[in-house]
Structure formats: C-alpha cells, structure tokens
Structure 1
Amino acid sequence: MTGRARVSQPRPGRRASFPDNLPDPGPAAAIAIAARRFEITLAGRTAMMDLTRLPGRASLARSFTQALWQACQVGGPAGTVRTAMSLAEAIHRFWRYLDATGSSVQALAEIDVATIEGFDAWMDERGQHPNHRRHQMGDVVMLLRLADAGEQGRLSEEASRRLFYVSTRPGVPPRPRDAYSDSVRVALKAAARADVAAIVQRFRPALAQECETRIDRLEMDAFAEIDRVGFITVKNDLFRQLYGARNYAGISNEGLSDRMHGTRHLLLGDLIALFVLLSLETGLEIEAIKTLRADCLKNPSSGYVEIEYCKRRARHAEWKRLRVRDGGSGTPGGLLRLAIQWTATARGHLGSEQLFTYYCRGRLTDVVLPMQSARKVWVKHHRLQDDNGKPLKLCLSRLRKTHKAAWYRKTGGQLRRFAVGHTVEIAANHYGDIPAMRPIHEATVAQALMDAVEDALPPTVLTPEAEAEILAAPSSAQPGLPEGMATDVPAFLAGEQDVWLASCSGFYNSPFVSSGEACPVPFWGCLECRNGVITTRKLPALMAFLDFVMDQRKVLSEADWQAKFGRVHYRISAQILPQFSETDLDAARSLAARQPTQIYLPPEAGLA
C-alpha cells in the first residue's frame, strides 16, 4: 500500500519588535570591570560576583572580570547563578595556581601554552578528582576564550589554538546516580500522600464563628490583611498585636506565620511532598517540575491528560509533553489540578504564570529556593530511613531514577517500552545500567545459563509406551537416547544397570571420567547425565527423593535450599514427572508410600 508523503508546512511567523530605548551595556560593563564586583540576575535568582580578593595581577584580573561579566549576561554561557559561582571559583583557583608556582604572568598577553597546561598538571598533582579537574579546566578555558574574543590579538597564536580543547588528561567514568530501593520508594510515596491529604484538609474553608475574644478579632483582621495583600509581615501592627495577645494568654506562637499563611498558600515544605509524589508517579525531572506553568495540563480525554513541561537540557527541543492518568488526587493529573487550585491566589497576587508559587520567608515567590534544610526537616518529620536503618538522605534527583527502576521491573527490561522521554541508548546507559538493577541483570544471566543447560542436557525419559516400542524393535531406537543402549536392551530395561534414580546406559562409560572407570558422580547427578534414562520403574525412587527434598525446605533457609536442591527439584517436578501419565504417577506414589523411608546418605558414607 502506498501513501502520499506528508510535507510539513512552515508555521506562520510574527514580526519581532524591540524597544527603541534599550540601555547600552557598555557603561555598566566598564563600571563592573573597574570595580571587579557586579550583581547578576539569572533564572530568577540574584547574586553578587566579587573578584576584588584576587591578589595582584591587575591587568589579568580586569581581563577575567570582563570575561565573567560577559558570561553572566543574558544568552551567555553561565545561564544560572550556580554556574556563574562555579566560574568565579575557577578564577580564584587559577590565581592560587599562579601564586603557588611563582608565575610571572601579569596580563592576558603573557599567558602561553605552558601556563594553561601547567594549571592542568598542578590540579592533577594536588590529587584533584579527574572529573572535577576537567570541570575546573573547562571553566578557565571558556573564560580565556571570552577574554581572547574581547581583546583580540592579545593571546599568541599558539595559546589561541590551545583553547580549542579542554584537556589531554583522561577523566574517569562518572559514578551513576542510583535509584532508591522499593522499600524506600514505598515509604516516600506514603509520606508524600500523607502530606497531600493534610494540605487538602488545611485548605478547606473554616466554619464561620463569632469573635468572642480579642484574639479571635485580631486573627480575623490578620487573615483579612492576608487576603487583601497576599501576606502579612511580622512587623505589621496587626501581627504584632496578635502575637502579643497570644503570648499574654499563654498560647504558643511557634510557627504562627507559617500556620496562618498555610491556610491560603502553599509552603516550602509542601513543595517537597508534591515534588516527591509527582516525580515518583510520572518520572519527570525535578528541574522540569519546578518550572511547570499553571496551564501545563493539555488535551484531557478518556481519563488521561498531557503535562507540558520544559527540559532545558534538551537543546532545540526543550518543550515536551507526557501523557499521564487523570482523575482524583491519586493520579498525576488530579494532583496537578489540586496544585493549580491551591496556588491560584498566590499567582493572582504576584501576576505569575509559574505553577509552584508559595509563601516563604515572609513573602510570596514563584522561584523555588534551595531545599536542603527543608528536606532534612521533612525526612525527620516522617522518620524516613534508608536500607541500613539510618536517616534517609533525600536527593530529589534520584527520584526519576527510582521511577525508572520500578518501570524497568514492570516492563521486564523491554527497552522499547522502558524508553519514555529519551532514546533507547540513553535508557539503557543512564537508567538501566545502575546498581539498583544489578540483581535483576544477574538473575537474568543466571536464568539464561540455566536455560542453555536445559537445552543442552534434556532428560531422557522412557514412558511405558516407549519401552514397549523399543522392546518390540530394539534396532530402531529413538533418536535422543543414549548411544549403545540398543546393544543390550533386555538387560537395560530389566533393571540390571539401574542406579537409584535412573537406569544407566554406561556406568563404565561415564562422561566425567576416562572410559572403563566407574562413574564418580553422586546419585542425583544421574538426572543431568547423558547416560541417564528415566523409566517407570524409577518413579517410586524419584517420588521418595522429591519428598525428602521438600522436607529439607522446612529445615534449610531459602537461599541454602535453592543452592543445594533448587536445580534437582526443578528437574524432577517440571521436566520429568509431567511426561508420565497420572495413572503411572499415582501408582508410583502408592509404591513409594509402602516402602521404608529412604534417607539420603552422601557418597562419603559408603567409603567405610
């Protein structure tokens, strides 16, 4: 069947317009370079870049300050405050290298290839981790590129060519971020769901009550101020009066501001529960969850909805969508609808489109602040522990790996179904090849080896019908039977060559020793031997031995029992007995029950 090729149509464009009075960055750059100190605002955060502590080398310091200022501008390589701080730290480290080695470099023009390579060697000699060393080296090389572009012709031609690459010294493969275990994952989800239920109760409208006391009247006035402005500061007269009245009445004021604002807005601690639950349910990256917008839910239909999110690392394809379940608060879609409802008031006061707008430190904000201390408080509150019984170190970036690990187990390692949101190669290398998946992979390899052994050494079983056919025509032995069996069929089938669990077609022709020597393998090794043949006559012995194996399961630990009897139990119960009819098996059980108890003795017991 042929079809018409689909031709993508260009999307209609719009004219771009820019304000006529854009400020000239030149004066600001000149002031920043002269002072070696300037303020930056990146991704909603503000920080101060300070290079005034660089000792000496004034000309070189100006060149690096200019490069850092350019890197921190909109569209520059810094992008975030954290990256900008890393660049500043790399400059200070480079200065420590110059001072420690007694370098005479005073200006950008004096930097040569030996100076750049010496910085790499100096960090290596000081025992710097190879990956950290390469990171620091990359920051300095990038700043030197910016400085060279801003002061063209200063660096020599050889030094400029050296900036084409970061380092010739190898790094080490990064240690993969591991997933949490299933027990920790279950505990995290339970704690997060408990917090969500508490938030639902907290946002329920309070019943109207009469203002019987002065504290009641002050609380109503304070809540009215929160509803009007969005928040109330601790310096506000209403809050001070309420605080004093409660204190005079002997009522605790601990966490009073958070408790009051928590009935109207989300708090920083609430975000942890929401982030944990969303990441474990959907597998979204934490940085994508933090930047969700209030209109992130798209195309709801048939109990599902799409989440539109931004993944900044996916260059030129940042905006993505993930289809998830939609319904009550137990589904990702329902949870996001609750979050949209809870943050509507705060977003209205701020005029923000960011979903996670909340109250923190006396104000409303839509920028997710660092959560280190809040995570510790949350873990301590829910008494979360790791697999060793110690307080859990909650790393939000491990939650996506945890979700992926659970999905990997659910799909049975099928990479095509497992790879959601990335390529199969990324799924295998970054989410499948992690320590948490090692037991599954080892069990799979072990099972594959067992399957290979079963295919190579299938048991030779003769049912009564097969015995009759062989007795009637010994020369036409069926394929797959041991070689040489047809040479002495009457003696073989009469039991003259029997061992305990099988009939042996070659006791002195064992595959385990030289021809002519007696077979040294313990009796249940006959079930794996190419000479072993299972006939109806051996069924009572097999039944008796199987009973002994099951009795040992009550005595030994599961691991010890599997190591000693797991293989032979599977061989008898799954590969041998199903080939006989129920009539033959019932007769064998009856015969085994009438025989005296057979106790397994190791081969060493017969040597006395």
Structure 2
Amino acid sequence: MSETAAAPIPAPRPGRGRTSAMPEGTYQAESAPVTAARTLVVPFHGEDGRRWEYDFSTLPSHALHAELAAAFAVRTGPVGGLRTKVSADASFQILRRFLLFLESLKQPPRSISELTSRQLERFRLHRTESASLATARADLMGLITVLRHVNPPDLLGQELREYLQQPGHSRHQKRSGLPGYSDREFRDIMTAARSDVAAIRDRMRRIDRLLETFRSTPEALTPDERASAAVLDEIDRTGTIPQVRNRIGLQDSAARFALAQEVFLIEPDLVPLLVLGIGLTGRNAETIKELPTEHRVVEDRAVALTLIKRRRSKGNSRDTVHWEIGTTESRQLHTPGGYYLLLHHLTRRGRRLSGGQRIWSIWAGAAGRRGADWEAKAAANGHIDPFGARLNRSLHLNRWSRRHGLTDDSGQPLALNLNRLKTTVEVRTTKAVGGHLPSASRTNTLDVSFAHYLQGDPRIREWADQVITSAIDDAENAARAFRPQILDAAGEQALAAAPDATSQQYGAEPAVLKNAVAGQLDTLASSCLNIDHSPFTKNGPCDVSFLTCLRCPNALIAERHLPALLAVVDALQEALETTSVDSWIEKHGRTWLMLTRLILPKFTDAQRDKAAQSKPVFLGLDLLDGPKEPR
C-alpha cells in the first residue's frame, strides 16, 4: 500500500460570529530610521506644515547611504532639531556636498566605519575654496551633528567618535549682525514701500467698485466699462487669466500679467508689502512670510493672531500678538494691525483659488521652468502661495530699491537687506525706550535681540557698554579688597637677589616660590603656591574651578602665563555672546574684572603682544570651569 502525504487542513474561514485569525504577538511598527536605512527615502513633515521626501539613493558614495539616511531621519523627525523644511534642506545639501567630496578622493571610504576625522577636516578646507570660512565651519558643524546621530555609535570608528564629541568645532562661527539703516535711510525705505502699497490698495479698490457696480447695476456703466468689467468678472469667478495677443497674433505675457494684476496680486507686489510689514511690526522676514489667515479683531482697536517663530524649541514656535489697528483709515499704513487687515483683504481672491494655509497669494503665471512652484501653479491656474514651497524666494530687492532711487548716506545706491531692516526697527525701539532692553525686546528674547540685532549696530554699542560696565562695577566693588599676586620681571630679579625677603612678600617659602618660577606648580593659567590648603575648601586639597585661581590668594601669575590668560579673555568674551548678561556677570564678572583691570595691565604692551602670538587656539570655559583633581 502506497503512503500518501496527508492533505493540509485549511484554516477556518472567518464568518458571521467567528473571530478572525490574528497574528501571534504584538504589532511593532518599524521605526523611521530603520525604514530610512532600508528604503533610503526620508519623509519629512515640518512644524511649518511643509512636506517633502529626501531620496538618498540619488546621492553619490552609495556605501554610506543607509547610515546617513537613518541619522538624517532622527534629525528631521518629531524630536529632532530640524523641524522646518528650510533647515532640513540645508542639512541635506551639506550631506550631498560631503558625499560629492568623498567620491572625488583617490581612496574614498567603502563603509561608514572607514570614515575619519581627517576626511571631515579636509571637507572643511575644501569648502573654503568656494565659500567663506564661516560657511565652511557651519557645513562642518552640520555634518558633525548628523554623524552624532548614527546608531549604534560603534558603526563609526573610535577615532571619529572621539572627534565628534570634542568641543570647539563651531568656534568663531558666530558672526555679528549687520548694522541697521540710519534714520534718513529708514524713512526713505518706508516712504517708498508705503507709496507702493497705497497704489496696490487703490488699484484693488477701483476693481472692487467696478465689479460691485457691474453685478448690481450694470446699466450705470458705459459700454466700454461693461465690456471690461465682464472680463474681470470672469477672471474673478474662475481664476483663469485669458491669453492676450499682440498686433501680429503672438502671445503677450506682459499684457497678460497686467490683466491679472487688475484682480490679483502679482510677484512685483511682494517687495513693498514685505518691507512695509517688517518696518511696521518689527518682525523678521520669515515671520511676515508665514502670517496666518486666522485672526480675531478685538473691539475694533487691535487684531489678535498667532505667529510662527522659527526656533528649535517647539514650546516657543508660536507667539500670540495683539497689533494695533488704528482708529482712522489714514492710519492703516502706519500700524501693524492695519497693515495685516489690508494684506488679508488684498489676498482674499487669490487665496480662494490657491488654497494656501498662509495669508499670501499671487498669480505667478501658468508657464515657467519645471521645478519652482510648477505643481502648485499647474493645480491652481497659476495661483500660489509664493512662500509655500520655500521661504527663500528670490525677491529682487535691489531692483525695487533702484526703481525708487534709494541711496545710502554716502550717496551710493542703497542695498536693501530685510535683516538690516529688522535690525533698524530693533534699534529704533531700543532708543525710543531709553535703552531699556527688556522694554525694547518685543519680538525676541533679550539675548537674541542683543546678539543678533543690536550688538552689530554702532548706535547701540555705547549704550550696551554702559550696561555691562555698570554690572561690572558691582563685581568690582565685591572684589576690591583682593589683589592678585603677580610676579613680573622686577619680582623675579628681587627673588634672585633676596629670596627670603621676596618670599615673605608673597607669603610663601623660598623653595616654593622658586618651584613656581620654574613652572613646577603651574595650573592652566597660573601657579598655585599651596594647592593642599585652599581658602575655598574646608580641610583638604583644592577642588574648585581653574577660573577661581585668578582670585585666590594662593595664585601666582607670571609672564609665561600670559598666552593662556589672553585665551581666557577670548573665551569669556565668547561666553558673553551666548549667555545672558546677568548670568555672565554672576558667573564670570569677577574673573573678567581681575583679568582686564588688575592682571593684564601689570604687563607691558610688548609683553602682551608677544604672548598673543603663542596664545592657545582653544582654551574652553568647560575645561577651565571643571574641578581639579585632588592630589
């Protein structure tokens, strides 16, 4: 009898009253980094509502794609630091440039484990051939930040992992902002913008009246007016701009745009509207470009709306403001609330067709090169949010400035910069409230206002110096009773001639003082005459910050310490640019006072100049501020 295999028993089919078959175990969704490593595509949905897909398979150096795509997915994910499309685009372009650079090497890495710090540094030097030093450093820091998210970290070599964790990669990257415009330059800019916006408003009001009359009492119009209104009515209802032909039958795009601007805003209208918005609100250009349509009018005196502020912190990405409208129509172009409501009215027709989420809408034409706004224009007959796909739309600012004949204080054509315009408003506001920064900082924190908008303006520096000097005076009063011990050339000669008398003057044994002169008792920026008995530590060796040495009676400062001391001054100055003034004064004020008023003036200009030539490249406060190891 032949044996036959038993037929498999079919699984019971689901039906009414029967439970469907379920897979064993719990469902675990694949994480975004894992998906990115597998597909090499990173989907992005930013805090600003913009979506995109970043395809790593289109980049060179294929051996590194999976790990970089996964790290990029973390950086652009819900908890990552890149939460707007602009920042995500910038990071992706840095990776593209880096991979192009690696492919140009004679021996490119065959896997991410072969990547070295030397290759990263060579990339930075390569970038300086076509970009500024600051841009090259920014690219390096952007690359390092992505590589720090490679998971697991041991996919990278030990040498590279140590390099990525080193401080100081972004040193000197910070740049001061551009100074603002003078009062005369600002007045001319605002006059030109207000003039253009008034013309746009009058143009739209004329069409509103014409269409209203055509739709209610067409017999009140002349035959020519009715014919013109009929065309404009069709454009308003459908959003379609008919083709216009010239005398020989060719399409006339200029005449078509002229017809479109009878009903809708067009691209040349953007510059004066943006300039007026920044000048009236004091907000930066990106915030004005992302003005929302939702708002609330409060007692006909103010408009309340929520702005997008482009910060890393999600909690600070929204800001609700109340902008004054003005009691009369004549103030419409002089108040932020009046400006907003006018802009809302001017763009209402276009928004109905473009479907944008923000306040802006223009007719950009139905043609153009494929890429920029192509899909949006095709979907809405040319009606788009001009800043929907990207905020850095080319605006031809200087072309507008030249058309109005704007000049700077030296008589040269004025270069229009929206960041400088924002700075000007910050400066004017600060001066208007008497230099009181908490009252002036309406659009940013005190630190951001000073670091990015005010400190680069010569008209505000004198006031800022007074604020810092006043705070330093408080620290000086607290430190007045103490004088650091400085061993200059005359002191060394006295020690050699009369060691006992000189040692008594410095409160140390002759042998100890000689060891200090020989450099055997050096800390990072001074010598310690008695590290086992610190005035800051009860019973035991000193374990306080190296910065505390500069105000310690056990410290001895000689000329050989000057290079390190000058580096400390630089580090303190950089700390002031990245922390609040109050916090900096509390933490570093006395140290800065000791250095700049009590220590460095004891040495000659020649000694300080010589020391500056051998100043350490990096002497970070994190190193100086750490506790010393007891011994």
Q: Is the 8 A contact 1:130 1:171 kept in 2?
A: no
Q: Which residue of 1 aligns with 2:519?
A: none
Q: Give the match for residue 469 of structure 1.
A: none
What is the aligned partner in structure 2 of residue 160 from structure 1? 161
Q: Structure 1, residues 358-406: CA drift from partner, whole Å, max 9, x if none? A: 3223322224264434423322332222223333222112221111122
| Residue in 2 that maps onto 1:195 | 196
Are 1:223 and 2:232 an aligned pair?
Answer: yes
**Which of 54, 60, 64 is the aligned partner of 1:60?**
64
- The residue that corresponds to 2:555 in the other structure is none
Secondary structure at 1:142 match in 2: helix
Deviation at 1:100, TM superposition (A): 6.3
* Corresponding residue to 2:308 among 286, 307, 310: 310
Instruction: Label 1:419 to 1:87 Cα distance change in 2 as closer, same or farther (>3 A).
Output: closer
User: What is the SS of the residue equivalent to 1:321?
Assistant: strand
- Relative distance call for 1:48 and 1:265 in structure 2 (3 A) is same
Query: One-letter code of the match for 2:384?
Result: T
Q: Distance in 2 between matches of 1:279 and 1:23?
A: 45
Cα deviation code 1:202-250 (max 9, x no counterpart) = 112226576857x974x55543332222x225xxxxx23xx23x63699
Structure 2 counterpart of 1:291, one-letter code? E
**Aligned partner of 1:399 among 421, 424, 430:** 421
Alignment partner of 1:259 is 2:258: yes
SS of alignment partner, residue 316 of structure 2: coil
1:358 is matched with 362
SS in 1 for 2:319: strand
CA–CA distance in structure 2, aligned partners of residues 86 and 428 of structure 1:
26
Could you tell me how far apart the structure 1 residues matched to 2:290 and 2:65 are? 36
Q: CA deviation at 1:191?
A: 0.9
Q: Is residue 2:240 matched to residue 1:232? A: yes
- Alpha-carbon distance change, 98 to 344 in structure 1, aligned in 2, over 3 angstroms: closer
Which of 331, 349, 352 does residue 335 from structure 2 map onto? 331
Equivalence for 2:613: none
Whether 2:284 is the aligned partner of 1:285: answer yes
Counterparts of 1:529-568 in structure 2, within 5 Å, are none
- Deviation, structure 1 residue 189: 0.9
Kindly tell me: are residues 179 and 212 of structure 1, through their superposed partners in 2, closer, same or farther at Cα, counting changes over 3 Å? same
Residue matched to 1:247 = 247
Q: What one-letter code is carried by the residue in structure 2 that aligns with 1:343?
A: T
Assess if the C-alpha contact under 8 Å between 1:247 and 1:253 holds in 2: no
Mind listing any 5+ residue stretches in structure 2 that lack a counterpart?
1-26, 215-219, 367-381, 471-631
CA distance in 1, matches of 2:354, 2:287: 21
Contact 1:203 1:264 (C-alpha < 8 Å) held by counterparts: yes
CA distance in 2, matches of 1:51, 1:28: 13
In structure 2, do the counterparts of structure 1 residues 142 and 178 end up closer, same or farther at CA, with 3 Å as the change threshold?
A: same
- Gaps of at least 5 residues in structure 1 are 1-19, 234-238, 449-608
2:172 corresponding residue in structure 1: 171
CA deviation after TM superposition for structure 1 residue 95, in Å: 3.9
Matches of residues 267-282 of structure 1 in structure 2 within 5 Å?
267-282=266-281
Q: Which residue of 1 aligns with 2:148?
A: 145
Tell me the CA shift for residue 53 of structure 1.
7.4
* Number of residue pairs the alignment of both structures matches: 406
1:74–1:416 Cα change, 3 Å: closer
Report 1:360-509 matches (<5 A): 360-362=364-366, 363-368=382-387, 370-437=392-459
- SS of 2:190's equivalent in the other structure is helix
Conserved 8 A contact 1:134-1:167:
no
Q: Which amino acid aligns with 1:228?
A: R
* Letter of the 1:276 counterpart: V
Matches within 5 A, 1:197-212: 197-204=198-205, 205-206=209-210, 208=214, 212=223
Q: Distance in 1 between matches of 2:226 and 2:234?
A: 14
Q: Is the contact made by 1:268 and 1:374 (CA closer than 8 Å) also made in structure 2?
A: no
Shift of 1:339: 1.6
Question: Which string of whole-angstrom CA distances, capped at 9 and with x for unpartnered residues, describes residues 96-115 of structure 1?
Answer: 65466644521012224554
Counterpart amino acid of 1:324? W
**Aligned partners of 2:141 and 2:169 also within 8 Å:** no
Q: Is the 8 A contact 1:261 1:359 kept in 2?
A: yes
Q: Specify the SS of the correspondent of 1:372.
A: coil
Deviation track 1:37-70 (CA, whole Å, cap 9, x = no partner) reads 8897765667785767765x43124443554466
Q: Is the 8 A contact 1:298 1:308 kept in 2?
A: no
CA distance in 1 between partners of 2:45 and 2:305 (Å)? 29
Q: What amino acid maps onto 2:240 in structure 1?
A: I
In structure 2, the partner of 1:344 is 348
Aligned counterparts of 1:128 and 1:249: Cα–Cα separation in 2? 48
Give, in whole Å, the separation in 2 of the partners of 1:364 and 1:378.
23
Residue 544 of structure 1 is matched in structure 2 by: none
Q: Give the TM-score normalised by the residue count of structure 1.
A: 0.57
Q: Is the 8 A contact 2:95 2:143 kept in 1?
A: yes
1:198 offset after TM fit, Å? 0.8
Do the aligned residues in 2 keep the contact of 1:32 with 1:69 (CA within 8 Å)? no
Per-residue displacement from partner, 1:495-535 (whole Å, max 9, x unpaired)?
A: xxxxxxxxxxxxxxxxxxxxxxxxxxxxxxxxxxxxxxxxx
Change over 3 Å in CA distance of 1:183–1:125 after alignment to 2: closer
How big is each residue's C-alpha offset from its partner over 1:152-199, in whole Å with a ceiling of 9 and x where there is no partner?
642234533443356547325413221111111111111111112111
In the alignment, the residues of structure 2 paired with residue 139 and residue 249 of structure 1 have an alpha-carbon distance, to the nearest angstrom, of 54
TM-aligned CA deviation for residue 440 of structure 1? 6.2
Give the counterpart letter for 1:402 in structure 2: T
Specify whether residues 387 and 138 from structure 1 end up closer, same or farther in structure 2 by C-alpha distance, changes over 3 A only.
Answer: same
Distance 2:358 2:59 in 1: 39
Asked whether the equivalents of residues 37 and 67 of structure 2 are also in contact (C-alpha less than 8 Å), the reply is no
Q: Tell me how far apart the structure 2 counterparts of residues 225 and 27 of structure 1 sit (CA, whole Å).
A: 52
SS in 2 for 1:320: strand
Relative to structure 1, the CA distance from residue 44 to residue 421 in structure 2 (aligned partners, 3 Å threshold; closer, same or farther) is closer
C-alpha separation in 1, matches of 2:237 and 2:34: 41
- Give the Cα separation in 2 of the matches to 1:348 and 1:422: 33
Q: Report the aligned-residue RMSD.
A: 4.2
Q: 1:193 to 1:297 in 2, by over 3 A?
A: farther
Aligned to 2:115: 111
Percent of pairs identical after alignment?
Answer: 21
Residue 178 (structure 2) pairs with residue 180 (structure 1)? no
Q: Cα offset for 1:130?
A: 4.3
Cα distance 1:361–1:390, how it changes in 2: closer, same or farther (>3 A)?
Answer: farther
